[in-house]
Each structure stands twice: as C-alpha cells, then as structure tokens.
Amino acid sequence: MRGRLLLHGLLVAASCVACATAPESGGGSLSEQAPLPYSVLVAGGGIVDAPPELAATAARAYGRTFAAFDGTVVVAAHEVASALRTARVFARALVDDRLDEGLGRRLREIADVLPPDDPQIRELLERARAGGHDYVLVVQRVVDGGIEEWGVNERWPLTAATWLLVGLGALVQDHTFESRASLEAALFDVEEGRLVHRAVGAGAVVELALFGRGNLWSFVQSIVVPPFLVASRQADVVESVRVATVPRLVAALARELKGVTCRRAIAERARVAIEVEFDGQRAVVRTRAFEGLGSVALRVDGEVLTDAAAVGFARSLLEAQREVEGQGVVADAAIVLRPDAALVQVLVRTVTGVVASTTWEVPRR
C-alpha cells in the first residue's frame, strides 16, 4: 500500500513537472516579430579561440567546451545565416560563398573598420553592394569556456516515475549543464566598412539524460539505481554539451542581433534615417538626413528599378525635401509596387556622397 502511494505521488509530481517545463506557445516567438529592415551578407566563421585566462582552469574537470578544436571552425557562416532566416532577424540574410580561409582568418582579427586597402575585403564589400545588401555580418570566433554543472534539475520525479513504471528513466533530461563558451560576430556597413555593432551569443544551457552523460556501464547501473543518481562521465558530458552548444550559441546570437541593443546601434550610426510604410502594394518612403539628398534608387527583389514609376518616385522624393527644425532635412514620396514584390531596398546618396540604404519586407495579406 505504501509503495502504491509513493508511486502515485511520483506520478503526480512528474505530471506537474511536465506541465511546468512544457514550452510556451503564443506570440513570444522571435520569428513572429517583424524583421529588421536590412539585407545582410554573412561571411567568416566561428573559429575556436581559447582566451589566456582559460589556461589556468582548462585542466580541471569540465574546464573547456571545445578543447580538441583549437583553431578549427565550429560555427559555419551558413549555420548563422540559416538561423537569421529562421528567426526572421533581418529582411534578408545570405552567405558569401566565395570567402577563402585566408580572408576568413583576417576577418576574425578586425576591430573597428574593414581595411579598404585589402583587395579581398574590397571585393567582399563590392559583392555585398552589388548583391543589394546593406550590411556585412562577419562571424569572427568562438571564445571557449568551461562547463558548469548545475546538477539534478526539477525533472527528477519524472525520471523516477518512468524508471519505476517502464524502465526508461535514462531517457529523461534530468541533469543541467551550461557552457561558458560564446560566439562573437561583428556588423559592418557595406559602403565604408565601418563597425556598426559587435554581437555576442552566449548562455548555452544544456539538459542531458543519462544516455547523454554516461556510457553503457552507466545504463547498467541505472537498472538498480535511479538514473538521476548515477554519476556523470566527464568525457560523455563534454561531448554532448559541445554538440548541443553550437546551435544554442547561434540561436543566442540571432536573439542578440534582433534585440534592442543592435537596433539602437544601427539607428545611432545611420547617416540617413529611412522608413517605409506599406498600404497594400503602395509604399510610402520617408527620409530624414543631416543634409540634402542628391540621388535615390530602388531595388525590388534585387532588381534596380529604372521604369517611369521609379524615376517619378525619385524625382518626387528629391523635390519634397524640406528642412524641419530639430530633424534636419526630411522628405517623403510614394510608389506603387508590382503585386509579386517581396523585398524593397531604398538607397539614397546625400549631396556630399554619404550613402545609406535599408531593405524592407513587403507585408503579405
């Protein structure tokens, strides 16, 4: 009787834990938020870099996450671009597939400005401009860090219940670990190669079941001992955490790039503020600059518009310029887009040659 009561209590606790830890649904998803109005070309790759201060603790248990991968690219540019598209961080995100390893390594050492005297970097910026991009995102490095063991988490009642009932407690993720590694990337404008924002993706929390933190002997032990009480094996934990850390770092980087800090950094460094409002296929463009505009161009889905409507729009925007106290030179004009238009890039050049651009996703009804 007492055993049945204990089992009933474990089942109730397990059901509560399952409800409490179930993922939330609703409007909180990153992909449901409007993308930042820019087109980004992703280059580089996350090469493992162990900071000097890590040497003192690297030999300890869980001292490093990527110990066997020094100097190796563990986060590819296409992984970052894919995450940016999935989360709708930017209106468009593509990969520079002509980046060689030599240029990739130099890009990881760049601080504030992409050196214009480097022919390969100059070609990279030219490719970005020709491809209709507003920024280049350089994935620079993975800064290695240790693994913190948090221990048994709140899922242990579920482990105990499934272990007693069906013997599958070893499949429940009842131990939590966190990698202290981080992924660094830098956002540069395509005109001058100026640093706009430096982003860091960190906080890779990983939950492991016994199968992820032990071996066959661990499973044998779990036949007579509840799985959450079986000791973890360091080698298995490090491997499992390392594999799980990469997508978590990429996801964290995507969240950081879509956050307030990145938006603010882009806005503060923009030479010209460009806003686009859509009413069906009608797009109203509004600009605000510290000086007058000298030229305007539109790209729709990568194609530069040269028809009469585009020429008329550019003329209307330039003629609508006026000085407003406290705002600078402002202007607005409208254009009707073709029905199948998906992306609109607005490019402006001021009278002194400053170029700015934004790329907007056309809302679908």
Taking only the tens place, the pLDDT of each residue in 142-179 is 999 888 988 888 888 888 888 788 778 888 888 999 99
**What pLDDT tens digit does each residue of the chain (365 aa) get?**
444 444 444 444 444 444 334 333 333 488 889 999 999 999 988 889 888 776 666 567 677 888 878 888 899 999 999 999 999 999 999 999 776 556 666 666 666 677 767 788 888 899 999 999 999 999 988 999 888 988 888 888 888 888 788 778 888 888 999 999 999 999 999 998 889 999 999 988 999 988 888 888 888 788 888 888 888 888 899 999 999 999 999 999 999 999 999 999 999 999 899 999 999 889 999 999 999 999 999 999 999 999 999 999 999 999 999 999 888 999 999 999 999 999 999 999 999 999 999 999 999 86
Number of neighbours of residue 193 by Cβ within 10 angstroms:
20
CA distance 113 to 96: 19
**Helix residue ranges per DSSP H, 46-131:** 77-86, 101-107, 119-130
Backbone torsions φ then ψ of 2, nearest 5 degrees: -65, -35
CA distance 198 to 224: 51
Q: Report CA Rg, the chain.
A: 26
Q: What is the pTM for the complete model shown?
A: 0.84
- All structural domains of the chain, each given as residue ranges with its CATH number in brackets, are 30-265 (no CATH), 271-361 (2.60.40.10)
